[in-house]
Structure 1
Amino acid sequence: MEHMGRCVYGGIFEPGHPTADEDGLRGDVLDLVRELGVTAVRYPGGNFVSGYKWEDGVGPRDQRPTRLDPAWRSIETNEFGLNEFMTWARKADIEPIMAMNLGTRGLAEALELLEYANHPGGTELSERRIAHGAEEPHDIRMWCLGNEMDGPWQLGHKTAAEYGRLAKEVARGMRQYDADLELVACGSSGRSMPTFGEWEATVLEHTYDVVDFVSAHAYYELEGDDVASFLASSIDMDLFIREVVATADHIGAKLSSSKRINVSFDEWNVWYLKKFQQEGAPGEWTFAPRLSEDAYTALDAVVVGSLLVTLLKHSDRVTAACQAQLVNTIGSIRCEPGGPAWRQSIFHPFALTARYAQGEVLEPRVSAPTMATAKHGEVSVLDSVATHDAENGRVAVFVVNRHPSESVSFSTDLRHFGGGVELVEASVLGGEDLFAVNSMEEPDRVVPQAYDAVKVADGALEAELPPASWSMFVLQTS
């Protein structure tokens, strides 16, 4: 959730909206966030954070300064800041992940923010928070040490050595306050960055002992009419994760450390970035401009479902992840000022995965035909993962048919779970109109469909998967 476009202003925060509560938070959006199943939200950016002064967003609103945000060429009124975010987070029942500015700021400002947010009281900064109406400490446990510092577009862009030294300095200072914080070092902004790999290695040589995570960011889009490559986007994400993990483990071995660094994939989604870059930033400085308010298609939803499959398959090392973003700007939720909120197509695979992917992730062994793609070479037409919730006797199977035009038969052995396995739900997204979208006028045009081309027989789940589709099967074991 970044101060970008209408994610915050006109998204989660709209005083005067018919559903707004006493804090100006849209109730209809809050309801959809809860339905989406979000468990953690990273705030306040994103590129925005590298020029942000957190002090501007606390205290009496009529005394907060209005600033220019060069990241998105926007006017920032600071009506919504740290304390408003924490109020929203508690109402949404999510864990906050706080990003801090290491672009234009450093150690002193990081420690001041930490003290303001987390110290119970008795110091100038903690008493200031209490005077601002937040009597209890926010107790934020997870902190991102800057954002995309490898990117030349980032305010305060640094070399890996420069950033690694600063991140280590800040992390060591934060741990003197609280040794149990979870800290995230900036990894690469994408696998295609020219410094990828070398960046992670250098940064982790500096920070290995004082951080818990290295971040990864990736966005995917349909380029031209290359549907097959787009449907195979998770191939790139899978390689990205494997390469980051290999690099981290190499540095651990080099340092003779028994510690294991995990991956925080804290920005990922389908984003039509090339279109956004071609359109450019607003010509004039504008408050909450409409930026990247893409209407996501059924095809986009299938790809998002496939990316979720990949994240689950790597959940031994990807132990935190954040889809970017939440509302309006490349968001799963859309809304209009004074009007309704609705679910984008990509809302549905996220919500169903969040609801049913519980317990233990089962590592798949997939045997399937392959198909040719221009970007990724030969790839399996099937992408799949399953989870087993032993406590509730539930198995959830998630599977993608990547083939743009051909259905494929799918089966999986259930004998491990004993007899009496019953299919309780089968849902599919995709199908005939891959470019259908949800809109304010037609909010339910793209929704998961129940379908009958599936059965449990002779100890196996068998299904006929439509072309370019994401499917979920929920089974109950005895």
Structure 2
Amino acid sequence: MRIVIDPAFKVGEVDDRLFGSFVEHMGRAVYGGIYEPTHPSATADGFRGDVLALVREMGVSLVRYPGGNFVSAYDWEDGVGPERPTRLDLAWHSIEPNTFGTDEFLRWAAVAGIEPLLAVNLGTRGIDAARALLEYVNAPRGTKWADMRPRDEPYGVKLWCLGNEMDGPWQVGQKTAVEYGRLAAETGKAMKWVDPSIELCVVGSSNSSMPTFGSWEDTVLDLTWEIADHISLHTYYDPAKFEDVDAYLRCSQDLDRMIDTVVATADAVAGRKRSRKRIGISVDEWNVWHQTANPHHVGHDGPFKHAPALAEDEHTVADALVVGCLLITLLRHADRVRIGCLAQLVNVIPPIRTSNGGPAWRQTTFHPFAHAARFGHGTVLRVELAGDEVEATAVRDGDGVTVFAVNRSAGTTPLDLVVRDLDLTVTEHLVLDGELGASNTAEHPDRVTPRRVAGAELPPRSWNVLRLT
């Protein structure tokens, strides 16, 4: 396989927010995930110290909160102040004690060193609740909601989602594109009057199989054009829904088509409006998800439970290769994809798993993300490949270049790297491979880990990071 890298052929600059993740009040993502006051490693605020260490190691730049489906019926006021009512969460058929809320999350984000992305409820609520939350979070002292904040200084949150998956029948407060677009436009207008410096992300389609995919984006952007900075794109891939492992390892081609479709739709709206504005794409939910093999929900007819174990998938080497391909796809669209959120961060379809009161460990999918977050900053260079046995991209940072590559084939693939106008050689080659069904567990947390190899051959079914200096 020959890859020609020319520094003159640029895709775009990588936005650091591409390496984000997601924490929703779902399952044990919060309670027992990032927050467990009785854990031996817990900080004074109740944050799990072992999880914080792994989040920093993973290189997460941004975290979206508090949902997800959860946000569509969430009263944010329940999660602030000294009185915290216990509520029924209809999204995940759970009991929500509201012990962990906005202030706890923003303190956790500061300790973790990540940028927060907050979502507002446009399912059961709207303009008033959103502008009040923004005032609470970002306004200086001297007004009702800002004076209720436990700290004097505003948090200064810049990124906000206007709802979540509002096209989905599983959503509390599902809306048509027109209903949602009008509400989002007015909510966004009011929010930008409160704080003109914020960026707003409007809701796109829940996935590419939605019957309104494309037309939803067209209508929503037409109605929200004045206030929208980004539009969301969500996608999950279930290995059981592919005919074989080869098809599963090619699922990133669907994400590639989705991004192209949303970009084309956004630019068509810009053309109709004679606007030079270019909407960013926020892929703020993406991952593999074993929904068939590990059903994440057991209906709405059983008892409500506090922090039930939902979607605690055990990720395999095959899953790690798919996550690697999806990361490469996001980087290859760095000219338009500004935000990415691997969903989710801990315990729910996670790169990090924990046991209550016990250890935290890295899943196989942790490693490609950590590599991309560490080495994927700079300028993405255009890489054209013959065939689809190898998925690859290249990122230039200063005088060096990093090539990320997934070898989908069952055989070793020699790589011929040709770098124009730069005197570079491969000085480090990291590989993640192994039996496709292998995974990491609490008992064997390091069964699947990256290794260093010599040369530029891509092992069979492998994730590769080649550092050229």
TM-score by length of 1: 0.91
- SS in structure 1 of the partner of residue 236 of structure 2: strand
- SS in structure 2 of the partner of residue 273 of structure 1: coil
Q: List aligned pairs for 1:46-445, cutoff 5 A.
A: 46-60=68-82, 63-129=83-149, 133-223=150-240, 226-277=244-295, 280-281=298-299, 283-367=302-386, 370=387, 380-390=388-398, 393-403=399-409, 405-418=410-423, 421-431=424-434, 433-445=435-447
Q: Is the 8 A contact 1:204 1:248 kept in 2?
A: yes
2:38 alignment partner AA: G
* C-alpha separation in 1, matches of 2:115 and 2:420: 38
* C-alpha separation in 2, matches of 1:160 and 1:248: 15
Displacement of 1:140 in angstroms is 0.7
Q: Is the 8 A contact 2:412 2:460 kept in 1?
A: yes
* C-alpha separation in 2, matches of 1:338 and 1:204: 46
Give the stretch that moved more between structures: 355-364 or 19-28: 355-364
Displacement of 1:424 in angstroms is 2.6
Greater length-normalized contact order (CA 8 Å, ≥ 6 residues apart) = 2
Cα deviation 1:246-298 (Å, max 9, x = unaligned)? 00000100111111111000000011123454862472100000001011001
Displacement of 1:91 in angstroms is 0.3
1:262 alignment partner AA: G
* C-alpha separation in 1, matches of 2:339 and 2:65: 14
Structure 2 equivalent of residue 375 of structure 1:
none
Displacement of 1:466 in angstroms is 2.0
Displacement of 1:467 in angstroms is 2.2
* C-alpha separation in 1, matches of 2:156 and 2:359: 34
Displacement of 1:395 in angstroms is 1.2
1:219 alignment partner AA: Y
- SS in structure 2 of the partner of residue 68 of structure 1: strand
* C-alpha separation in 1, matches of 2:206 and 2:171: 10
Q: Is the 8 A contact 2:138 2:195 kept in 1?
A: no
* C-alpha separation in 1, matches of 2:253 and 2:100: 38
- SS in structure 2 of the partner of residue 22 of structure 1: coil
Q: Is the 8 A contact 2:296 2:310 kept in 1?
A: no
Q: Is the 8 A contact 2:201 2:228 kept in 1?
A: yes
- SS in structure 1 of the partner of residue 392 of structure 2: strand
- SS in structure 1 of the partner of residue 210 of structure 2: coil
Give the CA RMSD over aligned residues. Answer: 1.2
- SS in structure 2 of the partner of residue 243 of structure 1: helix
- SS in structure 1 of the partner of residue 278 of structure 2: coil
* C-alpha separation in 2, matches of 1:202 and 1:135: 41
- SS in structure 1 of the partner of residue 421 of structure 2: helix
TM-score by length of 2: 0.93
- SS in structure 2 of the partner of residue 18 of structure 1: coil
* C-alpha separation in 2, matches of 1:88 and 1:112: 22
Displacement of 1:225 in angstroms is 5.7
* C-alpha separation in 1, matches of 2:324 and 2:299: 30
Q: Which runs of 5+ in 2 are unaligned?
A: 1-22
Structure 2 equivalent of residue 447 of structure 1:
449
* C-alpha separation in 2, matches of 1:466 and 1:295: 23
* C-alpha separation in 2, matches of 1:208 and 1:276: 40
* C-alpha separation in 2, matches of 1:249 and 1:430: 39
Cα deviation 1:317-354 (Å, max 9, x = unaligned)? 00111000000011110011111100000000000110
Q: How many residues are treated as equivalent by the alignment?
A: 445
Give the stretch that moved more between structures: 2-11 or 133-142: 133-142
Q: Is the 8 A contact 1:361 1:385 kept in 2?
A: yes
* C-alpha separation in 1, matches of 2:389 and 2:243: 18
Cα deviation 1:224-261 (Å, max 9, x = unaligned)? 66101110011000000000000000010011111111
- The verdict on how the C-alpha distance between 1:317 and 1:193 changes in structure 2, with shifts beyond 3 A counting, is same
Displacement of 1:423 in angstroms is 2.5
Q: Is the 8 A contact 1:72 1:281 kept in 2?
A: no
* C-alpha separation in 1, matches of 2:194 and 2:357: 44
- SS in structure 2 of the partner of residue 158 of structure 1: coil
Q: Is the 8 A contact 1:231 1:468 kept in 2?
A: no
Q: Is the 8 A contact 1:83 1:134 kept in 2?
A: no
Displacement of 1:412 in angstroms is 1.8
